[in-house]
Structure 1
Amino acid sequence: MVEIIKYVGFPDGHFKFSIQTWLLILFWLSLPLTAKIYSYYSYIQRVYKKRKRIELSYDINEVVIVVLGDLGHSPRMSYHAKSFKDLGYHVNLCGYLESSLPQFLYDPDNIEIYDIPVIKRKRYLPYLIFALLKVINQIFYLTNLLKNIIGDNTRFVLIQNPPSLPILLIIGLIKKIWAPNVQIIIDWHNLNWSILNLKYQNENHPIIKLMKFYEKYCSLKFADFNITVTKALKNYLIEEFGLNSDKIMTVYDRPSHIFQPLSSQNELKKILTNNESLFNKDVNHNQLNDRILITSTSFTPDEDFIILVKCLKLMNEQLTGTNNRIIMIVTGKGPLQETFLKSINSYKWTNIVIKNVWLPISEYPNILKIADLGISLHVSSSGLDLPMKIVDLFGSGIPVVSMDYPVIKELVKDDENGVILKDNKDEISMSDDILGLLFNKEEKDKYVKIKNGALLESQIRWDDEWNTKLSSMLSLNNSNKI
């Protein structure tokens, strides 16, 4: 067969160009990419210069709220969204959509909701590798999302902290490069480094020190204003992070209007009837002899379920042989849920019924209001935050038994609206406190007192707190920067 085409390659020395020639070739090949990069750079510069000239007016009426968590279980940030909306803002609310949202957020004319994908650890990876991959993924996604949401009419960006990684850095860089017109507000619920330290239990660990530095640097560099959930957290940020005391305000968590005290016996019967999964024929709630306890949880390491299980076992023994019974409702889910369920399923309960349920936000307030007593196991990773679960209980007029830690007294007044444990590790004392309040006639006056104290707390609402402290500062009519 005749070979029509035969490849013989390039002759020797064909590509032996001078350095100058190679540089010209590379320059020519890079022109399209260089032109594209320059066009992006020019565009960003034009947008930046334009937005830097924007002056505050009534028309600058948008706020972006970012939560790297489930919006359905981020009540404080949801309340912020409603409060901004009530001031006349258009709200862009970004977060995970893992559960149903409060009804007041479904307002397409005034509130737009953006779903941030949840990145879960589906396959086994070392924690640090998974965390690194998660952060890289979120950097690209959040940067693209927020770049498109933040615009000329954006006045504020409100960020929940924690988590601070990577959202604080992303928002800070967007302000520095893309949107100098926005003002950044950090709402401090806790400290990210202290939550991470629950895993390492070592404040001198390099990762903990790096997170602490990152949190401090970003808040100092980028935040225009800071909100904290306690005065103790405010003082920490001033003393340890060096934040300006004039740029920090404590805004306490308060319940929204969806949490209300029980209004009548008819309402009680209706709630019991509508929740067959909790109060079925096996439970058969008897109002004379039964008492309802409730604790809400995320099953995280900053809540001591060991002490609760020990306490429940003690109370079960003490109630054995009586007609009295406790119905213990545990609401929520989280990483330590399976451990808790195993510990209660291995025990034979006689006078205590334990129900672990995941309640939708529409039904959760109804279950709270029928409780006789709430239990808070929260001790705080930093010792500087307060549990929202107690706020919800107070909104429902329910007194609490709470773990003791330094700042809890900013919310729970011992023997006035609840009981603060003297020893967080003493299940005997905890059992005595609960049984005494629920069944001991001699302590009836004490229960009535803390019940009235909780009802008094129920009169203080989120709108009262927010409007008193933030409304005038964040008003659309206010042309001064915060």
Structure 2
Amino acid sequence: MAAPYLLLLALALLLPLLLLGGWKRWRRGRAARHVVVVVLGDVGCSPRMQYHALSLAKCGFSVTILGFCNSKPRDELLQNDRIQIVGLTEFKSLTVGPRVLQYGVKVVLQAVYLLWKLTWREPADYIFLQNPPGLPAIAVCWAVGRLCGSELVIDWHNYGYSIMGLVHGPSHPLVLLAKWYEKLCGRLSRVNLCVTNAMREDLAENWHIRAVTLYDRPASFFKETPLDLQHELFLKLARTHSAFRACSEHLDPGMERSAFTERDPRSGAVTHLRGRPALLISSTSWTEDEDFSILLAALEKFDQLTLGGEDLPALVCVITGKGPLKEYYSRLIGQKHLQRVQVCTPWLEAEDYPLLLGSADLGVCLHKSSSGLDLPMKVVDMFGCCLPVCAVNFGCLHELVKHGENGLVFEDSEELAAQLQMLFSKFPDPVGKLSQFRKTLRESEQLRWDESWQRTVLPLVMDT
């Protein structure tokens, strides 16, 4: 007897959605072209999706970004009249009951909430979705697309199940369920983009998903920083971080100095200080998948070499980013008592990060892919600034870092320490290996994001 009432209840819930979907399909045919970009993560920490939004806006689309607003996106995004950012609420897991139940409740709540947010937006031609995280977003975005006439585009940055496997183990029921879900729902999209050829091949062979490789490319604002802007940035950072302050022996009321640069009071010209430290930068999300013990051990070895009389400079190591393990590693760094190496961990404004990359002497990347199929965007940005890189090795890194050509690849702290010793020997040597890498990057005529996007993605979204 209850069955008819349940059927009526289901129809009562579905009918408004069906009517709304029909109305939105009609509206979409009459409205300006519109795209919704969905990020179930922090928009400010999702540069690739920000670049998608900017590229779509430049091509005449109006863009709505749905995502978490934990940090500030780039000013170009905030100041663009064609782009609107709509903040999403992130639901926390329950603190009681079995873990599967906690996770299940969170997924259901997030699904219903995302469905509501998407359904009541302006009609969209396309929904661009970042994956991971794709649970529950892939199914929800596909359902809304079928209802409202929107085509789904999934941008595969990695696999969500492989990231979950780092925490729970690859054979955990939640991980296996997430893998099944990703494989099933990933086939529902009209267009699939991915970040490497290795991932494209894996999607085709093991997931039966046809994808197009869109390599991460540096945006136009990632470039070498002029000395005068370097000087201003160093002075700004010196207010809160002693590593950027001029040594007391260099203090002169008539000169404006940082630890690296000085400005002539008469001409205003900025030059590097003689005997300045080398500036090394590593960008991270401070999570367990990046092994900072490798970097710390290498810095400790480098410190011992400088104290032992090796012809090496003092070193300032800047580790940027924020995340759950930042305080833990900051304490660990403090316990090392390094003498010729200074480590600081600032959280930079979005506009200052490219300036710092463009001012550094060397980048270090500790990214290890959970799937072995994605590439670190931080290295892409460093290369855009013509900054040579030492990167920890993994599966498809060769698609980006060419060992001995534009940087070096290492396996452990001993190898990284040896590379630092070699690269900074007689620093700043204009004919040394570090300078050769930078020269190679300058001459490489790297393809920028806008040009790559227009070649690869624009044809896929302009045929409807």
Q: Is the 8 A contact 1:397 1:457 kept in 2?
A: no
Amino acid of the structure 2 residue aligned with 1:45 = L
Q: Is the 8 A contact 1:162 1:190 kept in 2?
A: yes
Confirm or deny that 1:252 pairs with 2:246: no
Aligned to 1:372: 361
Task: Report 1:66-465 matches (<5 A).
Answer: 66-107=38-79, 109-120=81-92, 127-149=99-121, 151=123, 154-176=124-146, 178-179=147-148, 181-201=149-169, 203-220=170-187, 222-243=188-209, 245=210, 248-263=211-226, 265-276=227-238, 277-278=240-241, 279-281=244-246, 285-286=259-260, 287=273, 288-320=275-307, 322=309, 324-421=313-410, 424-425=411-412, 427-440=413-426, 444-456=431-443, 459-465=446-452
Identity of aligned residues (%): 30
Deviation at 1:440, TM superposition (A): 4.2
Q: Is the 8 A contact 1:253 1:388 kept in 2?
A: yes
Deviation at 1:469, TM superposition (A): 1.1
Deviation at 1:142, TM superposition (A): 0.9
- 1:345-372 deviations in Å (ceiling 9; x for gaps): 1121100000011111021111111110
Deviation at 1:448, TM superposition (A): 1.8
Q: Is the 8 A contact 1:394 1:457 kept in 2?
A: no
Deviation at 1:172, TM superposition (A): 1.9
Q: Secondary structure at the match of 1:329?
A: strand
> How many residues are aligned here?
436
Q: Tell me how far apart the structure 2 counterparts of residues 128 and 440 of structure 1 sit (CA, whole Å).
A: 57
Amino acid of the structure 2 residue aligned with 1:146 = L
Q: 1:27 to 1:270 in 2, by over 3 A?
A: closer
Q: 1:448 to 1:122 in 2, by over 3 A?
A: farther
Aligned to 2:36: 64
Deviation at 1:429, TM superposition (A): 1.6
Gap regions ≥5 residues in structure 2: 249-257, 261-272
Q: 1:457 to 1:135 in 2, by over 3 A?
A: farther
Q: Is the 8 A contact 2:283 2:378 kept in 1?
A: yes
Q: Secondary structure at the match of 2:324?
A: coil
- RMSD, aligned CA: 2.8
Q: Secondary structure at the match of 1:340?
A: helix
Amino acid of the structure 1 residue aligned with 2:236 = N
Q: 1:209 to 1:270 in 2, by over 3 A?
A: same
With CA pairs under 8 Å and 6+ residues apart, which has the higher RCO, 1 or 2?
1
Q: Tell me how far apart the structure 1 counterparts of residues 218 and 17 of structure 2 sit (CA, whole Å).
A: 42
Q: 1:115 to 1:364 in 2, by over 3 A?
A: same
Q: Is the 8 A contact 2:163 2:370 kept in 1?
A: yes
Aligned to 1:42: 15
Q: Is the 8 A contact 1:232 1:407 kept in 2?
A: yes
- 1:122-159 deviations in Å (ceiling 9; x for gaps): 968865454333222212211110111152xx110000
Q: 1:412 to 1:105 in 2, by over 3 A?
A: same
- 1:288-325 deviations in Å (ceiling 9; x for gaps): 24101000000122211111111111111111155721
Amino acid of the structure 2 residue aligned with 1:61 = R
Q: Tell me how far apart the structure 2 counterparts of residues 294 and 467 of structure 1 sit (CA, whole Å).
A: 31
Amino acid of the structure 1 residue aligned with 2:177 = L
Q: 1:308 to 1:127 in 2, by over 3 A?
A: farther
- 1:40-60 deviations in Å (ceiling 9; x for gaps): 543433444566689978x55
Q: Secondary structure at the match of 1:465?
A: helix
Q: Secondary structure at the match of 1:138?
A: helix
Aligned to 1:13: none
Q: 1:282 to 1:191 in 2, by over 3 A?
A: farther
Amino acid of the structure 1 residue aligned with 2:336 = Y
Q: Is the 8 A contact 1:63 1:89 kept in 2?
A: yes
Q: Is the 8 A contact 1:436 1:443 kept in 2?
A: no
Q: 1:118 to 1:454 in 2, by over 3 A?
A: farther
Q: Tell me how far apart the structure 1 counterparts of residues 71 and 135 of structure 2 sit (CA, whole Å).
A: 23
Q: 1:206 to 1:129 in 2, by over 3 A?
A: closer
Q: Tell me how far apart the structure 2 counterparts of residues 403 and 293 of structure 1 sit (CA, whole Å).
A: 15
Q: 1:336 to 1:282 in 2, by over 3 A?
A: farther
Q: Tell me how far apart the structure 2 counterparts of residues 71 and 55 of structure 1 sit (CA, whole Å).
A: 26
Q: Tell me how far apart the structure 2 counterparts of residues 129 and 294 of structure 1 sit (CA, whole Å).
A: 42
Q: 1:76 to 1:27 in 2, by over 3 A?
A: closer
